[in-house]
Amino acid sequence: MAKTPDVLVVDQDSAARAEMAKSLRAAGFSVGAEAAFGMESLATAREVSPDVIMVHVEEPSSRPLQTAEALANAMPGTPLVIYSTLTDADSVRRAMLSGARDYLSLPVRAQELARSLHIVLEQEERRRMRSSGQMAEVPGYATIVTVFGAKGGVGKTTLSINLAPALVRETGQSVVICDLDTSFGDVTTLLDMPSEHTLADAVQNIDFLNRSNIKDFLVRHPSGVNILPCPPSPADWTNISPQSVRHVIRCLAETHDYVILDTPGAFNEIVAVGLEVASLVLMVTSLDMASIKDTIVALDLLRSWSFPEEKLKIAINHSSQSNGIKPEDLSTALSHEIFWQIPHDRAVSVSNQMGQPVVVAKPGSRVSQNVTELARLLAGVRKESNKGLMRRLLRV
């Protein structure tokens, strides 16, 4: 939007209104007006025509929720956001039923506040475009999983090349791996696949690249996974801009259900793009001291960028190799929950030597079952029990 979005703050308590107004200005928004509940808020909203309305809800919640619903009905084209200290599911549900587009739990950080309002504004803009026929052919958009780690040699690429076929097998949906390793990418090497076309070729055609022709630059693995290999030489990256990489990723995301971005063990502009566009970041580390130190530094850097921590999922590779450091110790050191632990399994090195993902070559191995469960978790797929399968078969 060209202008700073105007926000109407609705709260019965004038001091609380002033506090939220201060937070909104700190987050880069303009406070167009403040109002109490009831008719005052409706009259004010009609008068100032805000871009967003924020309503404070606490117990007893009937009056603020009644006000929120009246505002949502009176101004359906204006996103409404509720903020509250109430975090139980029933409170959130009643808020959303009243017409809220988002629900913020207090206290709320400036970055979280700004992100919420920008999201609801973008959603409303897309809704308006759809209703006016300007978005008649909107493509789908993938879940982008960026596999990232502050240190090389922790198993990022091995995780990428196994997570991708596991997603294909468990979901039946389309998956592509984009090798963003700016040093020496190993995706095609580990999968024993040719690199007839690479990311560099796609970038050379960037002015014409779209979701219709991006497939011309992909190679298809027998597992059903598509691959966009990295350039053959690190020197080729000098001609590849972050903006070009962003466009390539967008084309991949518009043509696949899942995009796996395999990144190097370093921070650079290309990795920054991979982190920025990610729906979810699998941050891979091991339990050796060097990896832990680098992961702490990387997390601190991401926090300084106000990177959304809810997107960051810590995955420990070779978690069963004991050196005295336990996963819970790592969680404490990182001040971040451990999302996943991948066991050490010799089947991985055997499969890598064969040029096959371990989930394909040795599906019964511990690590294959572990990565398959990870794929199910990311995709929201539940494993059907034998009992459930028999019931379904008997019904047929």
Q: What pLDDT digit, counting tens, does each position of 365-378 carry? A: 999 999 999 999 99
* Span 162-189, pLDDT tens digits: 999 999 999 999 999 999 988 878 899 9
pLDDT at 393: 40
Of 228, 221, 267, 283, nearest to 250 by C-alpha is: 228
Q: How many CA atoms lie within 13 A of 269 on its CB side?
A: 10
**DSSP 8-state class, residue 100:** -
Residue ranges of domains in the chain: 6-131, 143-380
Of 388, 391, 392, 342, nearest to 162 by C-alpha is: 342
Q: What's the one-letter identity of residue 58?
A: E
* Span 85-104, pLDDT tens digits: 999 999 999 999 999 999 99
Strands (DSSP E) found in 100-204: 102-105, 143-148, 175-179
13 CB neighbour count, 10 Å cutoff: 12
pLDDT at 319: 61
Identical fold between 6-131 and 143-380: yes
Spatial neighbors of 264 by CB under 8 A, at least 6 apart, are 152, 180, 181, 182, 183, 271
> Quick check: helix, strand or coil at residue 270?
helix
Q: Cis ω on the peptide bond leading into residue 229 (within 30° of 0)?
A: no
**219-220 vs 226-228, strand pairing mode:** antiparallel
* Tokens linked to 133: 């026929």
pLDDT band, very low/low/confident/very high, at 389 (cuts 50, 70, 90): very low
Check if the beta carbon of residue 164 is closer than 8 Å to that of residue 177: yes
* Span 213-232, pLDDT tens digits: 999 999 999 999 999 999 98
- Torsion angle of C-alpha atoms 155, 152, 204, 208, degrees rounded to 10: 50
Check if the beta carbon of residue 321 is closer than 8 Å to that of residue 344: yes
pTM as predicted: 0.69
* Region 6-131: CATH code: 3.40.50.2300
**Domain 143-380, classified CATH 3.40.50.300, yes or no:** yes
